[in-house]
């Protein structure tokens, strides 16, 4: 436990940007060194060419002492001009290189910070169920317990282990999908997949005193990764149940509209505030109502996974929600 909490501190999102600054300075140095080498070569070339040509002209033509002095002065002036202009260009090059280095490295810095935030959040999500497991174990081990108490502990521990398994599955899915390309693409019946998922979630809905209703147009097929689409539907359905009131309803519809398949999952639940709505697809984001840890709270990765799958399939997702009244998630798939 100590190890995990320590790690999340080390990986905190506010940690310093020293590495980034060092990389920018190093790149600035490389750019400036490159410019310096080019300028020096250029200046040597100009000066060398001038001196060679001048000396040749001088030896072939004019032979007065005055002309020799003028020649030396011209050479000296040229050398001064070259040195001053090279130094000026070098100073400008330092600033331009710094700007360019920042521009080159800032997308990498963004990815790096995102990665760090992701790991810190993952560590936090892992720590919470582990802390619950540890506290439960310590409490039960304090003294002799009745068999009912042991049973309750085992039951609760299994729930926490289930959460850890869900979390690791979600993390694995997101990690494997970072390339944003879909393998195992096939043509399958979306209508059947929707019905299958509605049936699959029905016992869970019943356990939560919810009802899942469906109105699915038959024979709509889709080209994509079936297992991902199953996951997308299941995540939307699970949320529609988890954030619903008791005796609430969930309505799933699938229709064909203007050459596209439109899947909608509507619930009569708690709704999402306009403040939270822009962020719900971000990894680990949980709206205020779901933020406090309880055995039903999710990982905050469900909609991030949905969003990845939507993007992979060239689809779009829209959400309408009203606090206290419910939400409707609509996914529009292009059909081939």
Residues within the interface to ligand ADP (CB under 6 A): 239-240, 243, 267, 269-272, 280, 285-287, 289-290, 298-304, 327
State in angstroms the smallest separation of the CB of 240 from ligand ADP: 5
Smaller CB separation from ligand ADP, 142 or 288: 288
Distance of CA 202 to the CA centre of its chain: 32
DSSP 284: T
CB of residue 120 to ligand ADP, shortest distance in Å: 17
Q: Shortest gap between Cβ of 169 and ligand ADP (angstroms)?
A: 12
Shortest reach from residue 133's CB to ligand ADP, in Å = 19
129 vs 269, beta carbon nearer ligand ADP? 269
Q: In terms of CB distance, is 118 or 243 closer to ligand ADP?
A: 243
| CB-count exposure of residue 189 (10 Å: 0-12, 13-18, 19+) | middle
Q: Which residues contact 241 (CB under 8 A, 6 or more apart)?
A: 201, 204, 205, 208, 210, 212, 248, 250, 267
Q: Which is nearer to ligand ADP, 82 or 304 (CB)?
A: 304
Residue whose Cβ sits closest to ligand ADP: 298
Would you say 191 or 327 has its CB closer to ligand ADP?
327
- Check: CB of residue 195 under 8 Å from CB of residue 162: no
CB of 183 to ligand ADP, least distance (A): 24
Give the 3-state secondary structure of 247-267.
Answer: CCEEEEEEEEECCEEEEEEEE
Cα separation, 187 vs 290, whole angstroms = 37
Residue identified by tokens 């494997």 is 176
C-beta closer to ligand ADP: residue 28 or 268: 268
For the record, the structure tokens of 281 come out as: 């697809």
Is-contact 32 90, C-beta < 8 A?
yes
What is the closest distance, in whole angstroms, from the C-beta atom of residue 39 to ligand ADP in the complex?
A: 55
* Nearest distance in Å: CB 279, ligand ADP: 8
Q: 85-93: long-range contacts at Cβ-Cβ below 8 A with a sequence spacing of 24 or more?
A: 86/39, 86/40, 86/43, 89/35, 89/39, 90/32, 90/35, 90/36, 90/39, 93/31, 93/32, 93/35, 93/36
Q: What is the C-alpha to C-alpha distance for residues 8 and 112, in angstroms, rounded to an integer? A: 15
Is 23 or 125 the residue whose CB approaches ligand ADP more closely?
A: 125
């Amino acid at each position: 436990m100590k190890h995990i909490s320590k790690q999340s501190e080390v990986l905190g999102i506010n940690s310093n940007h020293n590495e980034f600054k060092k990389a920018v300075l190093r790149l600035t140095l490389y750019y400036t060194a490159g410019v310096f080498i080019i300028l020096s070569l250029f200046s040597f070339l100009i000066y060398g060419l001038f001196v060679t040509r001048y000396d040749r002209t001088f030896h072939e033509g004019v032979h007065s002492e005055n002309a020799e002095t003028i020649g030396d002065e011209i050479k000296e002036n040229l050398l001064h001009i070259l040195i001053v202009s090279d130094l000026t260009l070098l100073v400008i090059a330092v600033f331009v290189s710094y700007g360019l280095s920042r521009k080159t490295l800032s997308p990498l810095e963004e990815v790096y910070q995102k990665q760090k935030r992701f790991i810190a959040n993952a560590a936090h999500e892992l720590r919470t169920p582990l802390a619950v497991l540890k506290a439960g174990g310590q409490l039960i081990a304090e003294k002799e317990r009745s068999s009912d108490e042991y049973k309750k502990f085992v039951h609760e521990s299994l729930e926490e282990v289930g959460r850890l398994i869900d979390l690791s599955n979600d993390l694995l899915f997101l990690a494997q999908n970072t390339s944003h390309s879909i393998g195992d693409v096939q043509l399958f019946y979306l209508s059947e997949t929707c019905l299958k998922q509605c049936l699959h979630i029905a016992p869970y809905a019943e356990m939560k005193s919810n009802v899942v209703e469906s109105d699915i147009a038959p024979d709509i097929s889709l080209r994509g990764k079936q297992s991902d689409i199953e996951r997308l539907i299941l995540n939307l359905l699970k949320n529609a149940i988890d954030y619903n009131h008791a005796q609430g309803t969930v309505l799933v519809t699938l229709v064909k509209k203007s050459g596209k398949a439109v899947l909608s999952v509507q619930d009569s639940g708690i709704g999402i505030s306009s403040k939270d709505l822009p962020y719900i697809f971000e990894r680990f984001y949980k709206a205020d109502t779901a933020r406090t840890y309880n055995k039903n709270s999710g990982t905050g990765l469900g909609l991030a996974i949905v969003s990845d799958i939507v993007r992979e399939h060239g689809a779009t997702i829209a959400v309408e929600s009203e606090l206290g009244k419910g939400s409707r998630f609509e996914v529009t798939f292009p059909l081939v």
